A and B are shown apart, each in its own frame.
Chain A
Amino acid sequence: DTEVTQTPKHLVMGMTNKKSLKCEQHMGHRAMYWYKQKAKKPPELMFVYSYEKLSINESVPSRFSPECPNSSLLNLHLHALQPEDSALYLCASSHPGRGPEAFFGQGTRLTVV
Chain B
Amino acid sequence: DAKTTQPPSMDCAEGRAANLPCNHSTISGNEYVYWYRQIHSQGPQYIIHGLKNNETNEMASLIITEDRKSSTLILPHATLRDTAVYYCIVRVVGNQFYFGTGTSLTVIP
B-binding residues in A (CB < 8 A): 4, 31, 33, 42-45, 48, 56, 88, 90, 92, 94, 96, 100-107, 109
Contact = CB atoms under 8 A, between A and B. Distances in A.
B26 interface: no
B98 A102 contact: no
Contacts of A92: 43-44, 97
Given A42-B99, A45-B96, A96-B94, A107 B43 contact: yes
Main secondary structure of the interface of A (DSSP, over half): strand
B7 to A, nearest CB: 15
Given A42-B101, A100-B32, A90 B96 contact: no
Contacts of A103: 46
Contact of B98 (A45, A88, A105, A106): A45
A5 B4 CA distance: 29
Contacts of A56: 96
